């Protein structure tokens, strides 16, 4: 299994890091078999699996369920799980309890937390306790209420400079990697160059040390809006719809099940019992 040292070495060797989200066993298995370097059990599960319109309602129990499933599907892949909204903004012993469950019960390797300020203190304390932490800056979806929507971050000189300072602080606080979401590619390039730790981009252009996308976006397992930064490699939803329509049609017309799908008993017994 890869580890934080592997990801650092990949950056040093200019070997791009491919991260992919997964929330269940078959997706995690597919991701691992496709050769992703690490899996993110993201709280985007709240949106793409649970049908919420933000990540705010996602709970620790949700993340534990998704993490356990992903772990079983990809037993040999490094997994990082998102700490959900408000599980790292207050009492540190609550944060520790959440992390303990994720690492000990669900068996993931690391956690990801969003934001700056007090988040850096949390990164420092968790890292000191032996927990690998991935930072997440730029568009931080758990703060959608404060940001006022899902918008590109760091576009002005002042905002860009602030983001650079935060990225440096994230590294100083001990994060082993940084996710940069929805920032101009020039800024993401600059931050990737000045940091020692790997920068994994989403909507951050082609010059970061790695990329991450949401599984459902990549395979097209969604009917909804596809963000500009997504490259969709398939349209699984249309395949699923076609399959389900075929099933309903066959049941209604009586052409499913066929003889080959049925179980039988000894002919003589059947005749004796039922004529």
Q: Which residues make up the interface to ligand KIV (CB under 6 A)? A: 21, 40, 42-44, 82, 179, 181, 202, 212, 214
Asked if 82 touches Na ion (CB under 5 A), the answer is: yes
DSSP assignment of 77-133, as one string?
S-EEEEPPTTSSSS-HHHHHHHHHIIIIIS--SEEEEE-STHHHHHHHHHHHTT--E
Catalytic residue selected from 166, 181, 245, 259:
181
In whole angstroms, how close is the CB of 44 to ligand KIV at the nearest point? 3
List own/partner pairs for 28-37 with CB under 8 A and 24 or more apart.
28/69, 28/70, 28/71, 28/72, 28/73, 28/74, 28/77, 28/79, 29/73, 29/74, 31/74, 31/77, 31/215, 32/73, 32/74, 32/76, 32/77, 36/77, 37/2, 37/6, 37/7, 37/10, 37/78, 37/210
CB contact at 8 A, 58 and 43: yes
Q: Which is nearer to ligand KIV, 57 or 128 (CB)?
A: 57
In whole angstroms, how close is the CB of 214 to ligand KIV at the nearest point? 5
Residue 267 in marked binding region: no
Residue 250 in marked binding region: no
Residue 169 in marked binding region: no
Residue nearest to ligand KIV (CB): 42
In whole angstroms, how close is the CB of 274 to Na ion at the nearest point? 58
Residue 33 in marked binding region: no
Q: Interacting stretch for Na ion, rule CB under 5 A, among 46-54, 76-84, 215-223, 247-255?
A: 76-84
- φ, ψ for residue 127, nearest 5 deg: -60, -40
Q: Which is nearer to ligand KIV, 225 or 263 (CB)?
A: 225
Give helix 185-194 / helix 157-172 axis angle, nearest 10°. 30
CB contact at 8 A, 63 and 43: yes
Residue 37 in marked binding region: no
In whole angstroms, how close is the CB of 44 to Na ion at the nearest point? 5
181 noted as active-site residue: yes
Question: Which partner, Na ion, ligand KIV, none, binds residue 222 by CB below 5 to 8 Å per kind?
Answer: none
Question: Which partner, ligand KIV, Na ion, none, binds residue 180 by CB below 5 to 8 Å per kind?
Answer: none
Question: Which partner, Na ion, ligand KIV, none, binds residue 98 by CB below 5 to 8 Å per kind?
Answer: none
Return the active site residues. Answer: 181
The binding site for 3-methyl-2-oxobutanoate consists of 43-44, 82, 112
């Amino acid at each position: 299994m890869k580890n934080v040292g592997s990801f650092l070495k990949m950056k040093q060797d200019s070997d791009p890091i491919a991260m992919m989200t997964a929330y269940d066993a078959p997706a995690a298995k597919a991701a691992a078999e496709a050769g992703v370097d690490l899996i993110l059990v993201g709280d985007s599960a709240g949106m793409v699996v649970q049908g919420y319109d933000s990540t705010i309602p996602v709970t620790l129990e949700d993340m534990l369920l998704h993490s356990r499933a992903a772990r079983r599907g990809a037993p040999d892949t490094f997994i990082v799980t998102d700490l959900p909204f408000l599980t790292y903004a207050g009492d540190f012993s609550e944060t520790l309890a959440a992390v303990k469950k994720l690492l000990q019960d669900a068996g993931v390797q690391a956690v990801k937390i969003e934001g700056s300020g007090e988040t850096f203190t949390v990164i420092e304390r968790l890292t000191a306790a032996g927990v690998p932490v991935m930072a997440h800056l730029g568009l931080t979806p758990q703060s959608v209420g404060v940001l006022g929507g899902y918008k590109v971050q760091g576009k002005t000189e002042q905002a860009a400079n602030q983001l650079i300072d935060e990225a440096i602080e994230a590294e100083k606080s001990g994060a082993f990697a940084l996710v940069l979401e929805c920032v101009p590619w020039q800024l993401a390039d600059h931050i990737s160059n000045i940091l020692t730790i790997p920068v994994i981009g989403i909507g951050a252009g082609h010059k970061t040390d790695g990329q991450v996308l949401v599984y459902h976006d990549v395979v097209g397992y969604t009917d909804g809006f596809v963000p500009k930064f997504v490259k969709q490699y398939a349209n699984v939803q249309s395949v699923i719809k076609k399959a389900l329509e075929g099933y309903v049609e066959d049941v209604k017309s009586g052409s499913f099940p066929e003889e080959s799908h049925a179980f039988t008993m000894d002919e003589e017994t059947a005749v004796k019992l039922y004529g």
